[in-house]
Amino acid sequence: MTQSRPLALVTGARRGIGARIAVELARLGYDLALTDVAAEGAQEVIEEVKSLGGEAHLFTSDLAEVESRVALIESVVQWRGPIATLVNNAGIGSPRRGDLLDVTPDGWDRVLDVNLRGTFFLSQAVAQHMLASDCKHVRSIVTVSSVSAEMASIERSEYCVSKAGLGMVTKLLSLRLAPHGIGVFEIRPGVIRTPLTEAVATRYDQRIADGLVPMGRWGEADDVARAVGMLVAGDMAFATGSVVNVDGALSVPRF
């Protein structure tokens, strides 16, 4: 299929950060293949993409089911043609915040199956597709991880480990794909206002007021989306393998 607009595949895109990334990429001229485990809320994102001149379609998919990744990519390509950009945004938090000495194998496996294993194998499959396709657009893989890739939280140990693993996945993919001109980047958001942080909003309101975030405010999903847009445009191609912290200086060491 001949493409006038590049195609981006964004995981976890029906709400929150993923939804804003989809809209930002539409603003930059992309069509959007959206994935999520459910459809609720996705139509609103699709309509916003269309209002910006793009096309969008939701492909219901569970990132943890790695055996379905090839079929997902085939469906996306059949719908709109070669994938130019993959944004790994989907992920889950710790099933229960608490002492790391109480983490269960089931909870550990669930978080790593989605956040790390699922993201790795989808990225692998998309990379294989990119190398085999005749896409004429700028190609990139951007993974949205977290400041928790480096900043330890003993109440969310399995989450932190999964995000730290994504940091290494980014390094490995950047080395493998650099000779082919495919940019690979990691974005580490800090405290971002999304549906997933609603339950702890009051707690973080106070912590931000007490100085947790040097910029003195919550991050917004659009802050992350704009950073993704900057990276996929190709203007920073020679910075492949880089990490971009979108956290209001939260992760800067202080004393």
Query: Of the listed 59, 120, 159, 185, which one is catalytic?
Result: 159
- Interatomic CA distance for residues 174 and 239, integer angstroms: 10
Closest to 194 (Cα-Cα) out of 20, 9, 10, 8: 20
- Interatomic CA distance for residues 210 and 217, integer angstroms: 11
- Interatomic CA distance for residues 159 and 247, integer angstroms: 17
- Interatomic CA distance for residues 52 and 147, integer angstroms: 31
- Residue 9 phi/psi, 5-degree rounding, is -105, 120
Rounded to 10°, the helix 16-27/221-232 angle is 40
Alpha helices in the chain (DSSP H): 16-27, 42-51, 69-80, 105-112, 119-132, 157-177, 201-209, 221-232
30 catalytically annotated: no
- What is the identity of the amino acid at 249? A
Question: Which residue in this structure is represented by tokens 């945004």?
Answer: 89
How many other CB atoms are there within 10 angstroms of residue 78's CB atom?
A: 9
**Positive or negative, the Cα torsion across 231, 234, 236, 238?**
positive
Active site residues: 159
